[in-house]
Amino acid sequence: MRRIYLLLSVVLLCSISKISVGQNDQFIVGGCQLNKIAVINRTGEILWSAPVSNSNCNDVQITKEGNILYSNGVGAYLINRDKELIWSHMAKSNEEIYSATQQKNGEYVLTFSGHPARIIELSKSGDIIKEIKFETGVKSIHSQFRQVSKLDNGNYIVPIIGKGNILELDENGSELRSIYVGGNPFQVNIISKKEWLVAGGDGSFIALINPKSETVTRKIEEADIKDCKLLFVGEGHILKNGNIIFANWSGHDTREIPQPIVAEIDNENKMVWHLNKSKSLNMISSICPIAKKHHF
C-alpha cells in the first residue's frame, strides 16, 4: 500500500511540474483591433502591456536585448520595457508597414507595402544601412503582404496575400522564384533550410513546405483540429517539443460560436492548449514565444 502511495505521489508531482512549466511559458502578442501589445502566459494573464495606436499591429517580438519591436501599419517602433521609445521609422503617406523583425546579427529589417514596396535594413542602433525596392503585382497596398522574412543567404521571403504565392527576392530586390501555396499567406516562418511554416490567413490553413522541392509536407486545414476551426491564421511557430502554436484571428469571422484566438497543436493535430476570447484579449494575429532570459 505504501509503495502504491509513493508511486501515486511521484505521478502527481510530475503532473504538477508539467503544468507549472506550461503556465510559466510567456508570449508577446499583438493584433489588428487589439489596440495593444501584451506579454501573456498560458493562463491568459497579461503580465505587461503597452497601448498601440492605429490598432493594426501584425508583427511584434522581444529583441535580443530585451526590448520590444513592433509595427502598426503606420510605423515601426522599438521601445524598452518602460515603454520609452528608442527609435521609430514611419511609413510614407502612400505606404503601410506591418513587418518589423530583428535578425540574428542584431540588425533589423522593415518592409513597407506600396508602389514600389520597400525593404530597409537598419543597423543595431536603428540607422538605415540599406534600401531596396520591388513590385508585388498587387494594386491594393493593404493586400500585398504582412510578415516578411530574410534568409541567411541574404534573400527575402515575401508572402503575397493578394495572390496566394510566396516570392523569393535576391538581395537587390529581383524576383528569383514564386511558390504558389493558395489562400492569403500571412507569414513564412523559416524553420530550417528544408522546412518553412506557412500561415495561410483567410485560406484557413497551416502548411509545412520543403522550399527546395516546393512541395507541401504537411497541411492542417479548417476541419482538421477538433474544437478549433481555423479562421484567419496568423503568425505561427514550431515549439521545442515539435508542437505548432499559432494565432487564430477572428476579425473576418461571422460565426456565432467563438473559436480559440491562440492554439497549440501536436503532430496528430490534437489541440493541447488554447486561449479563448476575453475582454482584455479579443483579437490576436501576431504571437511570439519569449526566451526565458527575457521573461517578465
In tens, the pLDDT along 204-237 reads: 999 999 999 999 999 999 889 999 999 999 999 9
pLDDT of residue 22: 54
pTM of the entire predicted model:
0.90
C-alpha cell at 152: 541567411
Q: Report the alpha-carbon distance of residue 230 to residue 237 in Å, rounded.
A: 16
Spans of the chain below 50 pLDDT: 1-21
pLDDT of residue 23: 56
Q: Do the beta carbons of residue 63 and residue 69 sit within 8 Å?
A: yes
∠ CA 177-76-184 to the nearest 5 degrees?
Answer: 40
Sequence letter at residue 18: K
**pLDDT tens-place string over residues 116-133:** 999 999 999 999 999 999
Spell out the domain ranges in the chain.
26-294
pLDDT of residue 65: 97
Burial of 216 (0-12, 13-18, 19+ CB in 10 A): middle
Domain 26-294 has CATH 3.30.565.10: no
pLDDT of residue 229: 94
Q: Do the beta carbons of residue 192 and residue 220 sit within 8 Å?
A: no
pLDDT of residue 254: 74
| CA nearest neighbour of 103 among 36, 151, 138 | 151
pLDDT of residue 293: 96
| CA nearest neighbour of 52 among 78, 74, 68, 72 | 72
